[in-house]
Amino acid sequence: MNSSLISVLPDLNLLLAPPINYIFAGVCGAIIGSFLNVVIHRLPHEESIVFPNSRCPSCEAVIAFYDNVPVLSYVLLGGRCRGCKQRISPRYPAVELLTALLFIAVAWRDGITPALPFDLVFVSALVALVFIDAEHMILPNAITYPGIAFAVIARLALPYLMGQPHFEDLPSLMAGVLNGLPRWAASLGGAVLGALIGGGSLWLMGWTWEKLRGIEAMGLGDVKMMFMVGAYLGWRLTVLTIFLAVLSGSLTGILLMLKQRERNMQMLLPFGVFLGTASIAALLIGSRIVEWYAGQFR
Ligand SMILES: [Zn+2]
């Protein structure tokens, strides 16, 4: 029985696992974070992600491999390009550090299980989406479409790799509507239901807002992103994700309006930032929040 809010955190004893695992997860995260920087910088401009080599945005000098070490190079170079001494955006080390910390958190939650690489891919895609949306107010199809396909593949593979229903929504679904179906069909059914609830509610929110205000409030990017999140996390964690995103998005919107002393309701926030952040929170501690919430009514 979970009755205290502390119980939403992953098991603290797991942190005593060999620290080398967490160091390894952190280093992998920083390297992937460095790659995500390239994705975040180049995808919105439709540049190739693989070629050419990274260049300084100011002087266009090719960045040497020893100046491209995640986080470390930024610190050693004092946040400036070796050639032209122009400031390097702190977003680069921030994304690397954040990805490293998220990889450690996911490794803490999952342990060394078949779910770990899937969850790491999911979190990486969300980090890229959050930072691209924050800067350009778009959620590129180049991430959301493969993301949806990836979520479906994970749903089909993980129950077999894990040897048990891995996803939060399955036990309740299999006891009810999906009773008697083979494992893969139940898992796929859970993915479709989650995607419909995730993408559908975002589409409905945009449609309602458009009817009320006569302006387009929500792009289809949010809908596609929530297809991916819903398929991957299942309906329970998707409902939690949307709740957390609407809550944090509204609070941020109100704070910004108060700060700017401007009651402009047409101000647009990149909602994908809140949805992405909430999705990562739901993956990490969502099932424990749902359990804790349900426990209040027992
Ligand atoms: Zn430069």
- Give the environment of ion ligand 1: residues with CB less than 5 A: 56, 58-59, 81, 83-84
In angstroms, what is the span from residue 122 Cα to ligand 1's centroid? Answer: 33
In angstroms, what is the span from residue 168 Cα to ligand 1's centroid? Answer: 48
In angstroms, what is the span from residue 12 Cα to ligand 1's centroid? Answer: 44
In angstroms, what is the span from residue 81 Cα to ligand 1's centroid? Answer: 5
> Pick from 93, 94, 103, 123: which is nearest to 22 by CA?
103
The torsion defined by the Cα of 106, 111, 116 and 119, in degrees rounded to 10, comes to -30
Q: What's the pTM?
A: 0.88
Per-residue pLDDT tens for 64-107?
888 989 999 999 999 999 999 999 999 999 999 999 999 999 99
In angstroms, what is the span from residue 87 Cα to ligand 1's centroid? Answer: 8
Structure tokens at 140: 């590129």
In angstroms, what is the span from residue 79 Cα to ligand 1's centroid? Answer: 11
In angstroms, what is the span from residue 80 Cα to ligand 1's centroid? Answer: 8
Per-residue pLDDT tens for 177-215?
667 788 888 889 889 999 999 999 999 988 888 888 776
Per-residue pLDDT tens for 247-283?
999 999 888 888 876 555 555 788 999 999 999 999 9
Q: What is d(CA 74, CA 186) in angstroms, rounded to the nearest whole number?
A: 48
End-to-end CA distance of the chain: 9
Task: Say if residues 268 and 242 touch (Cβ distance below 8 Å).
Answer: no
The segment with the largest mean pLDDT, out of 4-18, 33-47, 251-265, is 33-47
Task: Say if residues 70 and 30 touch (Cβ distance below 8 Å).
Answer: yes
Task: Say if residues 37 and 97 touch (Cβ distance below 8 Å).
Answer: no
**Reduced to 3 states, what is the DSSP secondary structure of residue 3?**
coil
Can the peptide bond before residue 140 be classed as cis, meaning omega within 30 degrees of 0?
no
In angstroms, what is the span from residue 167 Cα to ligand 1's centroid? Answer: 47
Whether 240 has a pLDDT exceeding 50, the answer reads yes
In angstroms, what is the span from residue 76 Cα to ligand 1's centroid? Answer: 15
pLDDT confidence tier of residue 37, bands split at 50, 70 and 90: very high
In angstroms, what is the span from residue 282 Cα to ligand 1's centroid? Answer: 40
